[in-house]
Amino acid sequence: MVTDMNRIGFYQFDPRFGQVERNLDQVLHGLRDVREALIVLPELTLTGYSFADRAEVARQAEDPRDSRTVEALVALCRAQDLHLVTGFAEQAGDQVFNSALLLGPEGLLHVYRKLHLFGREKACFDPGDTSLQVQDVRGMRVGLMVCFDWAFPEVARSLALQGVDVICHPSNLVLTYCQQTMLARCIENGVYAVTANRYGTEARPHGTLTFTGQSQVVAPKGLLLHRAAAEGDALHVAEIDVARARDKALTAYNDILGDRRPEFYGDLGEPTVGRTGE
Ligand code: ACM
């Protein structure tokens, strides 16, 4: 097997709601010793997560093409030869999206807008309208998804069918079973995944949320390379071999993508049952 080593990882921390400068400083400080790697940051890293409503998002959201915080992160990429995937509250005209940005020394490389909004996000953000795409980064094929997209296996599958090696997954997880589920996503698609989750609590007038930490890097075949603790700042960079994500053999006889029988899967676009499964 031809090997092609690369470095991917995450920075887990506890963004404070509305404290963009503090959150940016925390990221710059947390990554100060990292070089030559693709690093994933949590969902809504700069603003915090638990918005009251759309108007509150609109006051904090930014156009990533005209943002001093994005410029600061791109400067970090240039200084330390990094690529970053960060969650971002995105303003686009009169719309606001819960987005993930791919940044590198070259600048802003890609914007993905979260397709599957979770809970009260539906009252705060527009549903994503960008297609799932794979980008070439540092010799890897990289795809983005955001937090609750984990619950929809179609997202990881769509990226896998486009040849993704590494799924970058900025998250603010509150449910407890995503981290285990991502092991399955990596088995069934033969890919690497980096879930960068936040930890800590956000107490807002409309409710309190506690996030589950345990950011992780998972390899094809569901191998857990590293999982952080549920609490505490954590930086982890893993050495990976993208050739492992390009070999889709599960056994000598089985290819995880090549053995699919889509002609028997019916129309995966529309359910034939209602909301209750009946
Ligand atoms: C989530 O999608 N932030 C749970």
Q: Write 107-110 long-range contacts (CB < 8 A, 24+).
A: 107/74, 108/64, 108/65, 108/70, 108/74, 109/83, 109/135, 109/137, 110/135, 110/144
Rounded mean pLDDT, 81-107: 98
Rounded mean pLDDT, 8-35: 98
Note the pLDDT of residue 3: 57
Rounded mean pLDDT, 115-136: 97
Whether 54 and 124 have beta carbons less than 8 Å apart is answered as yes
- The whole-angstrom separation of Cα 30 and Cα 9 is 13
Note the pLDDT of residue 274: 76
- The whole-angstrom separation of Cα 125 and Cα 123 is 6
Rounded mean pLDDT, 10-26: 98
- The whole-angstrom separation of Cα 127 and Cα 28 is 30
Q: Residue whose CA is closest, atom 3 of ligand 1?
A: 172
Q: Which H or E element spans position 250?
A: none
Note the pLDDT of residue 185: 98
Compute the Cα dihedral for 49, 54, 59, 63 and give only its sign.
positive
* Residue of 43, 56, 90, 121 marked active site: 43
Note the pLDDT of residue 84: 98
- The whole-angstrom separation of Cα 76 and Cα 71 is 9
Which of 70, 68, 44 lies closest to 57 in space, CA to CA? 44
What does the CA dihedral 42, 46, 49, 51 come to, rounded to 10 degrees?
Answer: -160
On the question of pLDDT at 35 being above 60, the answer is yes
Tell me whether residue 186 is one of the annotated catalytic residues.
Answer: no
Q: Is the CB of 173 under 6 A from ligand 1?
A: yes
Conformation bin of residue 65: beta by default, left when phi > 0, alpha when psi is -120 to 50: alpha
Q: How many CA atoms lie within 13 A of 83 on its CB side?
A: 23
Pocket residue to mutate for ligand 1, from 17, 125, 172, 212, most atoms within 8 A of Cβ: 172
The Å distance, Cα 195 to ligand 1 centre, comes to 12
On the question of pLDDT at 63 being above 70, the answer is yes
Whether 226 and 8 have beta carbons less than 8 Å apart is answered as no
Rounded mean pLDDT, 255-277: 87
- The whole-angstrom separation of Cα 145 and Cα 168 is 6
Average pLDDT along the chain: 96
- The whole-angstrom separation of Cα 161 and Cα 131 is 14
On the question of pLDDT at 273 being above 90, the answer is no
Residue 269: pLDDT band (50, 70, 90) is: confident
The SS3 call for residue 188 is helix
Tell me whether residue 43 is one of the annotated catalytic residues.
Answer: yes
The SS3 call for residue 17 is coil
Rounded mean pLDDT, 247-254: 96
Q: Residue whose CA is closest, atom 2 of ligand 1?
A: 148
Which of 12, 13, 14, 10 lies closest to 202 in space, CA to CA? 14
